Amino acid sequence: MSERLEISVEKLSALIEDLNLDQRACNRLSSAGIHTVSQIIAKGKPDVLAIRNIGPLLANRIFSAVADYLGVSEDILEDDGITQLALKEKDKTLDPLNVSIVTLALPNNLILLLRKAGISRIEQLIKFRSNNYENNNLFGKVEARKIERALRLFVEDLDKKKMPQTATPQVAEENQNTEFSSLKNLDLVLNSLRLNERAWLVVELRSVRLLTLEEIAVEIGGVTRERVRQIIDQVNEKIRAKLSLLLFFYDYLNGRTEIIRKKLKNKGATIEFLASECKLQLADSNLIATDEDLERFIAIIRLLAISNKPWARERFGTERKNFTFLVCLVEPSIEKHAKVNQFLEREKEKNRQLSHKEIAYLVLSEAKRPLHWREIVEKAYKLNKRDHFETRALYHALLNHDDLFVRVGKGTYELVEWGHKQAKPYPDVIAAVLSQERRALPFDKILVLVSSIRSIKQPSLFMYMEMHPRFYKAINNLYGLRGWLPPREKQNLRTPEWLVEDSKSHERLERAKQRGYDVDSIIREDKLL
C-alpha cells in the first residue's frame, strides 16, 4: 500500500517514450492508441498481449519497464488502487501535441534521428521545427521534407477526428500559452507575435508602401531612422520565434501558388487582390483567416524579403520560393528581390518595340535552324513586336547585317553565331566562273556554269549581268569581267571584240558611278586575276 501511495500523478501521465523501451515496443503501443503509462496500467497485461505483434516476452518487458519507472514491484501494478488511479488519469484529455512522434507514421530511421536530436513528442518537434533544422546536421533536405509533410498530415487529421484542442507548448521567451487552434487560425498566430500598432504601422510602411527608413521616421514622427531600424529588427526576431506557426499557412499557400498566379495574371495584381485569392484557397482547408489577416501575413513575408536575413532567405527564398516570389511581385513590386527584378526585366523586354533586325534575330534564335526569308517574315509578323511591320525592311536587315545573319542557301539565312560560313553572293559566283574561263562567255554558257554551282533563275542572272558594275557586255554580245577591259583610250581596231564594251553597257556604268558606286574598288580584285 505504501508503494501505491508513493506513485505520483505526473509519473502516471508520463509518455511511453519516458520508459526504458526500445522503438519496436513504442511503435506497437502507439499503433494501438497507447501513449501514456496510465493507459498501459489501465489496459492490463492480458489486453496488452492481445495487441497485434506483442507477444509474452515483449509484454513482460513493457510492464517491467513500467514498474522500474514508477519505482515499484511489478505485482503492485495489478493492485486495484493503482488500476483505479490509472483509469482516472487515463480518462483525462490527452494533449494532442504531447503524444509521441511515432504517431506521425514516419520511417524508423527518421524516428531514430529525431530521438537522437532529443525529440520524442510532437510539441518538441514543433519547437525544433521553428529552427528549420538548421542547427542540426542530422537532417538533410529530404528528411526535413518528409517530417514536414507528416506533421501537416497530423494537424489535418486532428480536425477530422475532432480531437480536443488543448494548450500547445509554452514559449520560454514569451511565457505565454497559445491555443492549439492557433496553428489553424491566422488571427491568433498574428496576435501571438505581440506587435503593437506602431510596429504594424512600420511593417506596412516598409513592406507595402516600400518607404525607406528615413521616410518611415518622418511618416511616424518623433522617432529616428535608427529607432525604425531597431523596430524592424525586433519584428523580425518575433517572427522568427513564431515561425513554426506561420509556416502552416505558408506551406499550404505555397503549394497553391500556380493556381493563385493564374487568377492574378489578367487582373490588377495588388496585395489586396492577392489576399482575397488566398482566402478562396483556404476555403478548402481547415485553416482560418480573414482578408485583413492575410494582408498582414503578406506584409510580413514582404518584410522578410526586404530584410533579407540569412534564416529568412533559407526558409522563404529557397524552400518556399514560389509563394515568396508571388508576394514580392504584386504591386507595388519589390524590385530589389532578385527573381522579381529578373521577371520584371523580362516582361519589359517582352513588351519593348523591337527593330526589324532584332525581330529577325529572335525568330532564328527560337527556330534554331536555317529559314527561308519568307518564312522568317511570316513568323516575325506573328510575333507582333512592332506597330508597323514591313517585309522589305526585314529582308534588308537580313542582307545588310552580315555580323548577325549568314546566307547559307537560296534565300535561306541562319545566325552567324552558329558557325556556318556565308554563302558566296551570286556576283562572286559569276565572277569565279568567268575567271576560271579567262574569257568572255555567252549568256547561255554562263547560266549553265553558274547553275552547276548554285541554282539561279535566268531573269536573276540577266539582271546581274546587265546591271552589276562588275560585269560588262561586249559588242559581240558576250559577257566578261570589267577588270579585264583595257582603258577606253587604248582600245583600237586590234582590240578583240570580246574586250570592247557595248555603248549601253558603258552608259549603265556611268549611271552607277553617279549613284555613288566605287567601281574601282569593285573591279580591283578582278584586275589582279
- As a whole number of angstroms, the distance between CA 217 and CA 494 comes to 100
In the prediction, which pLDDT does 135 show? Answer: 57
Low pLDDT (below 70) residues in the chain: 1-10, 88-98, 105, 127-137, 155-183, 265-268, 315-319, 335-352, 421-423, 527-529
- As a whole number of angstroms, the distance between CA 66 and CA 74 comes to 8
pTM listed for this prediction: 0.40
CA of residue 191 relative to chain centroid, distance: 31
State the DSSP string of 191-250.
HHT---HHHHHHHHHHHTS---HHHHHHHH-S--HHHHHHHHHHHHHHHHHTHHHHHHHH
- As a whole number of angstroms, the distance between CA 428 and CA 430 comes to 5
Cβ contacts of 408-411, under 8 Å, gap ≥ 24: 408/370, 409/370, 410/454, 410/455, 411/372, 411/373, 411/374
In the prediction, which pLDDT does 331 show? Answer: 82
In the prediction, which pLDDT does 36 show? Answer: 81
In the prediction, which pLDDT does 529 show? Answer: 45
- As a whole number of angstroms, the distance between CA 508 and CA 486 comes to 18
Q: Residue 391: which residues within 8 A CB-CB, separation 6 or more?
A: 377
In the prediction, which pLDDT does 311 show? Answer: 77
CA dihedral sign, ordered 207, 210, 213, 214: negative
In the prediction, which pLDDT does 2 show? Answer: 44
Cell triple for 214: 528615413
Cβ–Cβ under 8 Å, residues 86 and 70:
no
- As a whole number of angstroms, the distance between CA 13 and CA 70 comes to 11
